[in-house]
Copies of this chain bind each other. A is one copy, B any other.
Amino acid sequence: MIPENHPRYHSLLSREKIVDAYKSGILADAGMIAHGRGEAFDYLLGEKTTVTARKSIEAAAAALLLAKNPVISVNGNTTALVSGEIVELASVLGAKIEINLFYKTEERVKAILKVLNEAGAEDVLGTESKELKHIDGINHPRGDVSSEGIYKADVILVPLEDGDRTEALVKSGKLVIALDLNPLSRTARTASITIVDNITRSIQCLIENVLELKDRDREELKKIVGNFNNVNNLKDSLKVMLNSINEFEK
């Protein structure tokens, strides 16, 4: 048990969840290592949701509310850390949840589905091989997506995604919202809206933004999305990291 007053309580709690998820078959080997990479970038962010991240979260909320067919793509790490929040977000948006894995096995899909069901998800896509269609430009089973989900989605939230897939989804004309702690990654640079923040913090903030914006009129939401510039936002996140390095240099 990690004491709640430990200065790095949240980080250690996430680490514990990731290790448990790995042991229960939800995470691929690479998922544990990817979590560590995220920890390092979060450390440079000061382990808090920045003002810059909040702007990207607001734009993401507006884009999701404008969507005809919003889909939340989930993998092992997302499920391990925030399954309850994913179900809540899908419910407030009327969005679909689709399991899409880089290292896909039937066992992992089943294990993830079980956790999502326990968290209250009723209808999860991406679990049956026969319903899948292939997206152009992804030379990988990860390109196989549900015909009722990502295939016909206009806006997709992809937490913790890889660069190839983000690129293919953007090329296929979809608005892609990525959650990535590394502002230099190809995913971060390719997505339409990139939230540079720890998913355990930003998902709650995203839900709050959706609830707050959901009665606004469409023109106002369009303006929020239109005013958002992803490259500038990434640069601002990099500046936060630069500052935390410079802090030490003094």
Contact = CB atoms under 8 A, between A and B. Distances in A.
Interface string A202-239: 00000000000000000000000000000000010010
Nearest to A247: B184
Nearest to A246: B242
Contacts of A248: 184, 238
Contact of A40 (B36, B235, B238): B36
Contacts of A19: 29-30, 33
A15 to B, nearest CB: 6
Number of copies: 2
B249 A238 contact: yes
Interface of A: prevailing SS:
helix
Which of A30, A33, A182: most chain B Cβ within 10 A? A33
A33 B36 CA distance: 4
A56 to B, nearest CB: 17
A5 B168 CA distance: 24
A29 B189 CA distance: 31
Interface string A33-58: 11111111101000000000000000
A244 B34 CA distance: 21
A138 interface: no
A47 to B, nearest CB: 13
A216 to B, nearest CB: 33
Contact of A245 (B22, B30, B241): B241
Contact of A39 (B37, B235, B238): B37
A124 interface: no
Given A242-B245, A245-B242, A32 B36 contact: yes
Contacts of A241: 245
A82 to B, nearest CB: 18
Given A182-B40, A238-B245, A33 B30 contact: no
14 contacts: A19-B30, A19-B33, A32-B36, A35-B36, A36-B38, A37-B37, A37-B40, A40-B41, A40-B182, A184-B244, A184-B245, A238-B245, A238-B248, A241-B245
In the A-B complex, the 5 residue pairs with the smallest Cβ-Cβ separation, listed nearest first, are A36-B36, A40-B40, A33-B36, A32-B32, A37-B40
Interface of A: 15, 18-19, 22, 29-30, 32-41, 43, 182, 184, 235, 238, 241-242, 244-246, 248-249
